[in-house]
Each structure stands twice: as C-alpha cells, then as structure tokens.
Structure 1
C-alpha cells in the first residue's frame, strides 16, 4: 500500500499564495515564516508515520513548484515520490484527477486530498478498519455540525454509503467525508471505470461522484468514523487561519 495525494488544484480563493503555488503548497505553519509547513508536508509526514514508503502525487496547476521540492520532501520524510501529471487540472474537476492515478490504485492506496489538514489518527483509523471484505473505506466525521458546503454522506447499517454529495439537507447526513480514503487493490479497476464514466458524463464532477457511481452499481463503499478530531479542508483564507491553528497542534 502506498500514499496518494491529489495536489493538482489551483485554489484561487487562496490568492495571492496560489498565484505561484498549487493549493497543496500553501503554507500552514506560522504566518510569515518562509520555510513554513504545507498541507503536502503534513500529509507526507502522516504517511511516513504509518509506515508508507512510497507516495504518488497528482500534480497540475503550478506543478513545477512540486517538481522543484520533490527531492527535499523525499529526504525529509523518507519516502519515494512519484509525480503524475494531470493535463486538464485547470479545466476539469478532480474525478479526472483521481482517474489519472488509476495505475497507482492497483497497489492499494491511502488517498488524501491536497487541501485537508488532518492528524495521523485518521490514517490509523482507516488502516484499523481494513478486512472483512472492505474494499473502499472513507474517513467520516460524524461529530461536526454540517452546513451546505460540506461533502455529506448518508450510510445504512450493513450497507455502507448510500449517498455522497454536497447537495443534501445537512440534517439527513450521517457525517462528512473529510477527503481521506483507503482503497484496496481489488477496487482499482471498478473505481477507475466509475471515475471515467463520471467525468465523461460531466468533467466538472468530483471523484466523490465516482464513489456514488460505484454505489449505484451495487458496490459497497464503507466508512470509518474518525472520532472527535481537529481537521479542516482549506478552501479560503478563513480555512487557512483555522488550518494554521490545527497544524501547530501536531
């Protein structure tokens, strides 16, 4: 099993940082420090802490910044990093971005969005949830108060995910998908096919819509509640401020 990070996004709401950097390289350490940690740093650190030695990173927008830092990141975290180019990163949404990593999925991955600040306990929770035929396991926050923007999930006892979308009444949701998934090798081909069907239907769709496509086909997508932990998806400057507060706790 290896790590996989989706880091192709532009993150335009985080300008001026993202005028020159992809979203995953926006600093989340103390403001003003030139050598500040990034979301990618934190994620690589998590992967290394649970014993992963190989990581694939899907890059697109401002990808040269990731290429420039690759060797230093490999040395810092003791992992081998393979970069996968997304040629449509500024045109299409992340269903296509994850599909670009379809060959990597065959090794089994822990997938992390390049904008999710989260503790290593999330990876540990997913690894502990393996077995009993589970092929895809989503990290789920069942504690947070939900609103309209979150990627919400409805589950059913013994059947896993029934619905995953931002477009639902928050009161009906079981919890929020936080952007971290464990994907076993046995799920790779079916997931890749579902992702392809998803972005061919509409290139603006999310990879979570690919998960929904799998569910609609009868595939069981499981969840693992992460408990009451601090995490944030960084979409804007308010999220970034929260991310800095959380990151300094790790």
Structure 2
C-alpha cells in the first residue's frame, strides 16, 4: 500500500499565498504545510512510498521533493495533472489510475487531520474495498461533502447537495482504497470526468454506488480536523496545529 495526495489545485481563495504555491504548501506555521502533516502521518503508519498529483505551481513541490523525502523518510513520485487549472479533481485522481492497484490511502491536499484517521481506516480493513473516513460528530451545513450510508448497501449517496439532516456524516477527504478496487474506480473516474470535467472524484464514488458497487465508511470519532478552503479555515488549521 502507498500514500497518495491530491495536490494539483490552485486554491484561489487562499491568495496571496497561492499566487506562487499550491494549496498543499500554504504555510500553517513557518515549517509546516498540509503536505508536511500528511507525509508525517503516512510515515507514522509505515507508508514509505507516496505519490503526489501535482498541477498548479507544481515546481514548488518539485523544489521541496528531496527535503520532504529526507524529512519524512519517504520516496515521492510526482504525477502530473495537465488539466489542473481547467478541470476538477475527478480527473486529478484519474491521473494516478496506474497506482491504484497497489492499494492506496488517499488524502486531499487541503485536509489537516490527525494520524488517528489513518489508523482508523487501517483498522477497518477487511470491511470493504473502499472505505471513507467519516465525521459523524460534526453539525453539518450546505458546504460539506455529505454521505448517506446503510448497513445493507454501504454508501448510498455522497454529495454536497443534500439535506444535512438526512446525512450519516461528512466525508473528510481521506480514503482507503484496496488494490482490488482500482479497476472499478478507474472506470468510474473516467465516466465521471468525461461526463463533466468539473466533477469531483466523490462523484465517481457515487457512480460506483449507482452501479451497485459497495463503498463503506469508518467513523473517525471526535477529532479536530479542517478542510482548508479559505483564510478562516487556515486560521482554524493553525489553531489545531499550534494550540495556544
């Protein structure tokens, strides 16, 4: 199993940081970015091979590659997304399709989370071919990536566009993908971005569910995490990483 980070996005709501940096490298403190935290998590659970899908400001990650490898004891492979500034992340994950049959822990490049999330996913192995880290504690609103899950069918719906009161929880952007799920996910990703290149890879999860392919969830418990979309989120990430 390898680690996989989606770090191709421009993160325009985080300007001026993202004038020159991808969102994954926006500083949380002078020495730490989301990419640093994610690589540290991967290293702690024993993942030594990590692929990073890069696109916008990719050179900034390439410039740090040797330092990141030395700091976290990992080998990094950079996967180029040539449509990063035009298309959404269903295509970004599809760019890494040749790696999926190794089994991956996938992390969005803008999600600050503790390593307990990865441990939770690993502990759930054997319960499904794709397992989503799910926050079932948080009060939900319109912007969250919400999930409806049932014991009978697994994930039935995953979208931002649902009544929060109907949701089981929020997908936090971390997934365990077993090697045997790679081909089905690759096909669903292709169907998704070909239908509309502005769709998310979560729409490919929905495509799989619509095909009758089971996706499961692992509740992460009450932990501090944040998806960094804007400056308020960045301030929250700094509170989590550097509590006063």
TM bucket normalised to smaller: over 0.9
- SS of equivalent to 1:106: helix
Q: Does 1:198 align with 2:192?
A: yes
- In the alignment, the residues of structure 2 paired with residue 247 and residue 79 of structure 1 have an alpha-carbon distance, to the nearest angstrom, of 22
1:54 corresponds to which residue? 49
Which one of the candidate residues 171, 181, 188 is aligned to 2:182?
188
Q: Among 106, 123, 131, which residue is 1:128 paired with?
A: 123
Q: Deviations over 1:126-166 (max 9, x none)?
A: 0000014x100000000000000000000112321000000
Query: Residues 1-250 of structure 1 correspond to what in structure 2 (within 5 A)?
Result: 1-29=1-29, 33=30, 36-132=31-127, 134-248=128-242
Structure 2: give runs of 5+ residues left out of the alignment.
none
Deviations 1:209-240 (CA, angstroms, capped at 9, x unpaired) = 00000000000000000000000000000000
Q: Deviations over 1:81-109 (max 9, x none)?
A: 00000000000000000000001111000
Alpha-carbon RMSD across the aligned residues, in angstroms, is 0.7
Q: How many residues align?
A: 243
Give the match's secondary structure for 1:119. coil
Structure 1 unaligned spans of 5+ = none
Counterpart CA distance in 2 for 1:145 and 1:53 is 35
The Cα of 1:248 is off from its aligned counterpart by 2.4
TM-score (norm 2): 0.99
Shift of residue 246 of structure 1? Answer: 0.8
- Superposed CA deviations along residues 33-76 of structure 1, whole A, max 9, x for unmatched, are 3xx20000000000000000000000000000000000000000
Secondary structure at the aligned position of 1:28 is classed as strand
Corresponding residue SS for 2:198:
coil
